[in-house]
Structure 1
Amino acid sequence: MTRTGAKIAGGLALIAAVAAVSGPAARAADLIEGVTTYTLEAPFEDVRFDLEGAIVNRGLVIDYTSHIGDMLARTAADVGASKDVFVNAQSMLFCSAVLSRKAMEADPANIAYCPYTVFVYETPDAPGTVTVGFRRLAETGSDASKAAIGEVNALLDEIVREAAGQ
């Protein structure tokens, strides 16, 4: 093997090692306009735990966890449903006192955005594939309002990226 070939082989081995250590790769997608999602191959509970940690480790408090998948399964017979939508599905609601105050000082109507919601789910059609995401808030109003809402969107994206291993 030539010196150049050895360097290339060594570089490829390094890339493979980094990829193996860095965990599952997440793919970004906008499944619905205005909704940002990341999909990865991982156990649902691990991603859910990482999503919770990404929120709490920033000093934020989860006000409510909505067990959407459980609710749909529990009420399926009552509404005549014949399809399982999720294997697991939850959303978490929380706010940032700093960012919410900034947004509402810029425009009191921004109260409509609080609390923020992030979600995580796995479907029966793709077991082992977990999607994590958030609904992007509309950056409208004054320049100060747009900037404040932009900061909230950036925070939400950071949180779901962290949970997706990005």
Structure 2
Amino acid sequence: MKTFLLAAGLALTTSFAAVADTAVTYSVDQDFDDVTFGLESAITDKGLVIDAVSHVGAMLERTKEDVGSDVTIFERAEVYSFCSASISRKVMEADPMNLQFCPYGIFVMQKPGEDMTTIGYRVMPEGVMKEVEAMLDEIVQEAIGE
């Protein structure tokens, strides 16, 4: 796991973690709505179209009793799905199996009782898909004002 040092001023409001090498996450001392607004703006500012917003937190809360649970996992949690025609073409021309990663997703969540909002994305495999990961990180950084 990579360790990143943050400037002292940012350390109080933003933290970075790679979660089990499967996701990159940033936890910020920002309101959930501000982070999702920033995310929507960052995606569309790149000329990309949001295909869907999955309201995962609301679905899990709504169905928890139906599946025999009483646990509230998230205060709020959403996944934004979108694609980039140019990057997608590039990575799929390199390997058509990269189709499995499209559309790309960025998630935003807030856990019960926590003031921090977490935003992140899946780690992409080595090779040409790292270009997608760089795009996702750029969008996330813009969304949280980094």
Same fold (TM over 0.5): yes
Aligned to 1:110: 98
- 1:73-152 equivalences under 5 Å are 73-126=61-114, 128-139=115-126, 146=127, 148-152=128-132
Cα deviation code 1:10-59 (max 9, x no counterpart): xxxxxxxxx6xx9x832111133220000011111010111111111100
Within a 5 Å distance, the mapping from 1:35-54 to structure 2 comes to 35-54=23-42
- Structure-2-length-normalised TM-score: 0.89
Report the Cα distance in structure 2 between the residues aligned to 1:122 and 1:38, rounded to whole angstroms: 12
**Structure 2 matches for 1:60-79, cutoff 5 A?**
60-79=48-67
Contact 1:88/1:122 (8 A) holds in 2: yes
| Worse-matched range after superposition: 92-101 or 155-164 | 155-164
CA distance in 2, matches of 1:111, 1:43: 34
Who is 2:5 aligned against?
A: none
In the other structure, the counterpart of 2:17 is 29
Paired residues of 1:25 and 1:165 also in contact (CA < 8 A): no
Distance 1:81 1:117 in 2: 27
Is residue 158 of structure 1 aligned with residue 141 of structure 2?
Answer: no
TM-score (norm 1): 0.78
**1:92 partner amino acid:** Y
**Where in structure 1 are there 5+ consecutive unaligned residues?**
1-18, 140-145
What is the CA RMSD across the aligned residues, in angstroms?
A: 1.9
In the alignment, the residues of structure 1 paired with residue 13 and residue 142 of structure 2 have an alpha-carbon distance, to the nearest angstrom, of: 12
The number of residues matched between the two structures is 139
Higher helix share: 1
2:65 and 2:81 mapped to 1: Cα distance?
28
- Runs of 4+ aligned structure 1 residues displaced above 4 Å come to none
- CA-to-aligned-CA distance 1:93-142 (integer Å, 9 cap, x gap): 1110000000011111111111001000000041x210000001112xxx
Partner Cα distance (2:29, 2:49) in 1: 27
**Residue by residue, what CA displacement relative to the aligned partner does 1:37-87 show, whole Å, maximum 9, x if unpaired?**
000111110101111111111000010100000000110110111111001
Which letter does structure 2 place at the counterpart of 1:155?
A: M
